[in-house]
Amino acid sequence: MKWKEDLKKFESDNYSGSAELLEQYIELILYWLEKGDMQSSKDRGFLMDHSRKLQETHQSLFVLVHFCSQVTRLLTQEKLEWRSPLLNFLSEYKTVWSDVSEKLATQAISIIDMSQKLILIHSQSSAVKEVFRKFSGMRKKVKIIQTESRPVFEGRMQATLIKKLGYDVTLVPDVGFARHLDKINMILLGADSIYKDYFVNKAGTYNICLAGKNAGIPIYVLADSRKFWSSLPSLRQEMEYNEHQKTHQEVWEDPPAGLGIENFYFEKTPSAWVDGFITENEVLKSSQVENLKPLL
């Protein structure tokens, strides 16, 4: 069925930010539910299996893990009439979380001063993009260094969008930011997941933060509250970061025979290097992240 094929595509989406990916996923489920294509107990079983598959495929994307764990729990409880409860849940979830990026951006702008600053950004983040959308100062006087974010180059997409907003944007290779360190005023990053003493973001984040820390550059990480370890089901709150390698063809399509190639998208970076984790509700120091109270 078409809807099953559409849902399976989310297992291999390596371009979208986690919040954007989830928004698209929810909209697709709502579309097919309202269209009437999801009806049977087998359809319910497929949704449950797919929710579990997404959690494993994208286990470093805590926004997806947060959502899918709740969907799985609901579908486990509702075995007969499951469509209406699922529709209600999706509608409520959208209402609660639809404006979280805007709230987060408002919080960020109230804390950080971007005026006439040179800001380094990496990969692609819906929260970071929303900060630049919401900034009401002189955009042409804010200069931005954006990394390409290999191997799928999603940094190019973010650079293009922010340039269209009216900012002065320079795209550099992932290792090309170092020549600008003496001029960079701030590092602004997203995050896919925040554990008790480290956070996970696109590969390249570790070197950026290490260089920024050594150069005395303020580092801020934007992440809504779903991305913290405390938002996960209790059985997952103590899990450690783990990632399966992606296809080597993204790095080198036709390498010499026998040449080993690694292709990991994400990496761990110590939370202690971050000056502030900015959420939709508050700004947290790294020591506060470890002591958060569980949400679920």
Helices (H), the chain: 2-8, 18-35, 41-57, 62-77, 83-97, 100-111, 126-134, 154-164, 205-215, 286-290
The band of 234, judged by pLDDT with boundaries at 50, 70 and 90, is: confident
Looking at per-residue confidence, does 54 or 177 come out higher?
177
Pairing status of strand 186-190 against strand 118-121: parallel
Minimum mean pLDDT range among 25-29, 141-145, 235-239: 235-239
Strand ranges (E), 175-292:
186-190, 193-194, 198-202, 219-222, 266-270, 276-278, 283-284
- Same domain? For 50 and 35 the reply is yes
Are both 11 and 68 inside the same structural domain? yes
State residue 237's pLDDT score. 80
Q: Which domain holds residue 51?
A: 2-97
Asked whether 44 and 86 are in contact (CB, 8 A), the reply is no
CATH number for the domain including 220?
A: 3.40.50.10470
- Token pair recorded at residue 169: 């944007």
Residue 228 carries which DSSP code?
Answer: B
Same domain assignment for residues 256 and 127: yes
The pLDDT of residue 107: 97
Give the per-residue pLDDT at 216: 98
Residue 128 has pLDDT above 80, yes or no: yes
HEC per residue, 103-142: HHHHHHHHHCCCCCCEEEECCCCHHHHHHHHHCCCCHHHC
- Could you tell me if 50 and 157 lie in one domain? no
Please report the pLDDT score of residue 251 as a whole number. Answer: 95
Mean pLDDT of all residues in the chain? 92
Question: How many domains is the chain built from?
Answer: 2
Indicate whether 88 pLDDT > 90.
Answer: yes
Instruction: Clarify whether residues 125 and 241 are in a common domain.
Output: yes
Residue 295 lies in a domain: no
Which of 36, 70, 97 terminates a domain? The answer is 97
The pLDDT confidence band at residue 244, using thresholds 50, 70 and 90, is confident
Band (34; pLDDT cuts 50, 70, 90) = confident
Question: Is residue 120 in some structural domain?
Answer: yes
106: Cβ contacts below 8 Å, ≥ 6 apart: 134
User: Could you tell me if 146 and 232 lie in one domain?
Assistant: yes
Which letter does DSSP use for residue 10 in this model? G
Tens of pLDDT, residues 169-219: 999 999 999 999 999 999 999 999 999 999 999 999 999 999 999 999 999
Do 174 and 150 touch, CB atoms closer than 8 A?
yes
Mean pLDDT throughout 31-48?
Answer: 88
Residue 116 identity: Q
Both 93 and 166 in a single domain?
no
Domain shared by 84 and 109, yes or no:
no
Strand order in the sheet with 118-121: 168-172, 143-147, 118-121, 186-190, 219-222, 276-278, 283-284
